[in-house]
Amino acid sequence: MSLAIALNDGKKIPWLGFGTGTALYSKDAENAVRQAIETGVVHLDGAQVYNNEESLGAGIVASGKPRSSLFLTTKLNLIPAGQTVRDTLVTSLKKLQTDYVDLFLIHFPINHEASLPEIWKQFEEIQKEGLAKSIGVSNFRVKDFEQILPTAKVIPAVNQIEYHPYVFKADQPVIEFMKKHNIIPTSYGGLTPIVRFSGGPVDPVLQSAAARLSKETGATVTEGQVLQLWLRAQGIPAITTTSKASRVKEYLAAETLPDLTPEEIKAIDDEGSKVHHRVFAKFFDS
């Protein structure tokens, strides 16, 4: 199996995840998913709100890989009137053509009819039943954790958040809180500094680290891979997406690259902290 990180429930999450949101949102993801799996990806990240669980499931089937060799995530959107959390997951499982997910997350802490503690209780029951091996949350702030933890029987295994150098400073309170409770952050939008805000203060650090690693390894190391190494240094799984097979290979290659130096990591932290750019879940800063 590829590089994996231990969760608080004894399971492991593969470090690199292929996401079916953003570029693939509401689109047919079958070919992209099949291609990612054939290239070596084992961790696939979907969601009810992405509106493409059927094609994610079809891509898994088309790859021919046994289900047990893959790590599959989906996320709860809003619970339709008259339904339970379990009902929504059963619908997802049919679409995904599987009888369990490895990880099931509350996608957002806001806009639910039911309270977060009530929703989390239903998640615990789903895990007990085996429909989800691990359970967790996404886009949770400290105040959202403070709602569910007092009555939780199971501590969330992960909190999937937008995490990159330009939200490094803003995300520290929740990261520190999660450390205390042994909850792993997983990152989405990790390539934001180069994809959406190029020309920012972290660019020179990324360029110099990429040049050093390219020289050291004799292979071309990209700035995107440097951002992945920054996440890897913190033990944070990276969820990313692309429609290009060459890009998937580049992401996977980051698993075996040498580490960034402590000085490079600190420089990325420091330079990233000079500006603030959150692209998704803007409520997170409230």
User: Which pLDDT tens digit goes with each residue over 144-162?
Assistant: 999 999 999 999 999 999 9
What are the domain boundaries of the chain?
4-198+227-256
Name the catalytic one among 25, 50, 163, 251.
Answer: 50
In this prediction, residue 68 has a pLDDT band, given cuts at 50, 70 and 90, of very high
CA distance 29 to 260: 33
Q: How many distinct helices (H) and strands (E) make up the chain?
A: 11, 10
For residue 31, the model assigns a pLDDT of 86
Domain covering 4-198+227-256 assigned CATH 3.20.20.100 in the classification: yes
pLDDT in tens, 200-259: 999 999 999 999 999 999 999 999 999 999 999 999 999 988 878 888 899 999 999 999
The pLDDT-based confidence of 1 (bands split at 50, 70, 90) is: very low
In contact, 106 and 119? CB cutoff 8 Å: yes
Q: What is the pLDDT of residues 43-54, one digit of tens each?
A: 999 999 887 889
Among 171, 178, 187, 174, smallest CA distance to 156 is for 178
**For residue 280, what pLDDT is reported?**
87
> How large is the average pLDDT for residues 26-44?
86
Closest CA to 77 of 143, 148, 145, 26: 26
Q: Report whether 107 belongs to an annotated binding site.
A: yes
Angle at 17 between CA 235 and CA 214, to 5 degrees: 70
CA angle at 243 for the pair 40 and 25, rounded to the nearest 5°: 110
The yes-or-no answer on residue 50 being catalytic is yes
Query: What pLDDT does 22 receive?
Result: 65
- The span from the CA of 236 to the CA of 7, in Å, is 11
Lowest-pLDDT choice from 125-129, 174-178, 237-241: 237-241
Q: Position 269: which residue type?
A: D
Query: Regarding beta strands 16-19 and 71-76, do their DSSP bridges make them parallel or antiparallel, or are they unpaired?
Result: unpaired
At 262, the amino acid letter reads P
Residue 19: count of CB within 10 angstroms of its CB: 25
